[in-house]
Structure 1
Amino acid sequence: MARQLRINLDLLLVQRKMSLSELAQRVDITLANLSKLKCGRAKAIRFTTLLAICEALDCKPGDLLDLE
């Protein structure tokens, strides 16, 4: 069985008491693209975007991405 990548964006947003739209503004990414990432429908993410999300959420990439 193939392993899957799980995105923990919902959990991090709740822990940080931040909305998806607030994160989109802080990271300067469209709400639609951020929503795709949150729902696991994104095919790729740029390292610069990943870094910006981690900075905005004060986390590490391993907190955001998990391999199942």
Structure 2
Amino acid sequence: MGIVVNLDVMMAKRKMGLTELAGKVDITLANLSILKNNKARAVRFSTLEAVCKALDCQPGDILEYVPDGE
């Protein structure tokens, strides 16, 4: 499976919606939705930094490595 994005989990913990986070991170709703739904092929460090700042979390709270077969 590789890298899994747990953005929806962190957003729920912080009680923050997609629109609010998109505004704080200055990213389009479409691009944030792609990231949230594990459809992104890459993420810029600047975007990851902005998301972590907005959600008051660490990159490891959002990104998780899951070996194939799990």
* TM-score bracket for the superposition, by shorter chain length: over 0.9
Aligned residue-pair number: 66
Name the counterpart of 1:21.
19
Q: Which runs of 5+ in 1 are unaligned?
A: none
Give the TM-score, by structure 1 length. 0.94
Give the TM-score, by structure 2 length. 0.91
For the residues of structure 2 that align with 1:41 and 1:14, how far apart are their CA atoms?
A: 19
- The one-character-per-residue Cα deviations of 1:1-56 (angstroms, maximum 9, x if unpaired) are xx511111111011000001100000000000000000111111110000000000
Alignment of 1:24-63 (within 5 A): 24-63=22-61
Amino acid of the structure 2 residue aligned with 1:28? D
**Percent identity, aligned pairs only?**
56
| SS of match in other structure, 1:63 | helix
